[in-house]
């Protein structure tokens, strides 16, 4: 029987609590586990085998180490800090500690980064790249790219979609998002067309190879098993690189989906529902638009501008200086 270290027991019990009592999603539990492993490793290297005895100074130095030594982005450090806070609140609730050393930790300052989005032309290049020249699985890749962009899906969402989650007649997918939240996502004609083609001409053969191990998932690997999140990332990056596009990952397609909708005039609340964001604040980052688009909105929507155009008033000319006269 394997003897667990103190840190491993704390980790096991905490994750069991999160899974059973809080009902957290598998991906969230995995992220918590990775963060706690990193914390335990850091403390252990400094002679502390029990995370519950960590002081505020220990945790502060750990957060600083993530930023300086590991060079984590501020958003990643913030997520890691959230794990630490939840973990130590749980330790206090369980009576393991009497004071919470994480309660006063401050989040690192993070600049709001605009999400990377491709142009409509670049997206067309990417989603239309898979062809018979890329091998037998080109139809699967085409359907995958169309679904990611057509529905603004996360990699973790598209890989868990099952065949019966695809509804051709109403043109939608039933998607399970973060926290196990279900939503219906309309996907559009191109995504429907290529998904149907994949289901008819490619998936049956893959499912047969898998011998019933497909779990009824929509997207399958060459071995007939469901694609996981990592495989989705690898396939998107591979197709993008072959299409001559750099620094593209599944979230780039999601960002492009949202940005193109907002720039096309879609209501932000609608985009929020489509993306599955619980807060409108998260969706507001997609309100970044081009300066040309802003000028166009003013010209077409501002009542004074519309009136000037209606009476065909010419733009004002620079006034002539009276100096020297």
Listed by start position, the domains of the chain span 6-93, 120-287
pTM flag (> 0.75): no
Q: In the predicted model, is pLDDT for residue 323 greater than 50? A: no
Q: How far is CA 303 from the centre of its chain?
A: 39
Q: In terms of CATH, what superfamily is 120-287? A: Intergrase catalytic core (1.10.443.10)
Q: In the predicted model, is pLDDT for residue 314 greater than 60? A: no
Q: In the predicted model, is pLDDT for residue 175 greater than 80? A: yes
List active site positions: 154, 178, 251, 254, 277, 286
Q: Determine the pLDDT at residue 104.
A: 83
* Angstrom distance (rounded) from CA 128 to CA 177: 26
Same fold flag, 6-93 and 120-287: no
Other residues' Cβ atoms within 10 Å of the Cβ of residue 125:
15
Which candidate, 264, 252, 238, places its Cα nearest to that of 227?
A: 238
Q: Are 25 and 179 in contact (CB under 8 A)?
A: yes
- Helix 250-263 vs helix 120-127: crossing angle, to nearest 10: 140
**6-93 fold:** DNA polymerase; domain 1 (1.10.150)
β-strands 182-186, 166-167 pairing: unpaired
Q: What is the pLDDT of residues 186-229, one digit of tens each?
A: 998 999 999 999 999 999 999 999 888 899 999 999 999 999 99
Q: In the predicted model, is pLDDT for residue 79 greater than 90? A: no
CA separation, residue 14 to residues 37, 76, 85 (Å): 12, 21, 12
* Angstrom distance (rounded) from CA 6 to CA 12: 10
């Amino acid at each position: 029987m394997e003897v667990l270290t103190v840190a491993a027991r704390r980790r096991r019990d905490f994750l069991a609590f999160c899974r059973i009592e809080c009902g957290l999603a598998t991906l969230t539990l995995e992220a918590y586990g990775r963060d706690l492993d990193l914390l335990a490793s850091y403390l252990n290297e400094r002679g502390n085998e029990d995370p519950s005895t960590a002081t505020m100074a220990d945790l502060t130095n750990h957060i600083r180490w993530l930023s300086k030594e590991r060079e984590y982005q501020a958003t990643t450090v913030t997520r890691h800090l959230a794990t630490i806070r939840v973990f130590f609140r749980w330790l206090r609730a369980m009576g393991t500690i009497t004071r919470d050393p994480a309660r006063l930790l401050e989040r690192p300052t993070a600049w709001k980064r605009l999400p990377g989005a491709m142009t409509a032309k670049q997206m067309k290049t990417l989603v239309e790249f898979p062809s018979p020249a890329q091998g037998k699985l080109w139809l699967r890749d085409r359907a995958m790219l169309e679904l990611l962009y057509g529905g603004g899906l996360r990699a973790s969402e598209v890989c868990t979609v099952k065949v019966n989650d695809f509804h051709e007649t109403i043109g939608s997918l039933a998607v399970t998002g973060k926290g196990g939240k279900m939503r219906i996502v309309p996907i559009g004609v191109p995504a429907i067309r290529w998904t149907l083609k994949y289901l008819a001409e490619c998936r049956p053969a893959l499912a047969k190879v898998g011998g019933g191990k497909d779990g009824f998932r929509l997207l399958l690997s060459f071995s007939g098993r469901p694609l996981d999140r990592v495989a989705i990332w690898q396939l998107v990056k591979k197709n993008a690189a072959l299409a001559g596009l750099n620094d593209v990952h599944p979230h780039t397609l999601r960002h492009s989906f949202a940005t193109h909708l907002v720039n096309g005039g879609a209501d932000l609340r609608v985009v929020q529902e489509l993306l599955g964001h619980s807060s409108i604040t998260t969706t507001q980052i997609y309100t970044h638009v081009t300066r040309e688009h802003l000028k166009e909105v003013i010209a077409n929507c501002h009542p004074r501008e519309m009136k000037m155009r209606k009476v065909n008033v010419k733009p004002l000319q620079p006034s002539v200086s009276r100096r020297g006269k």
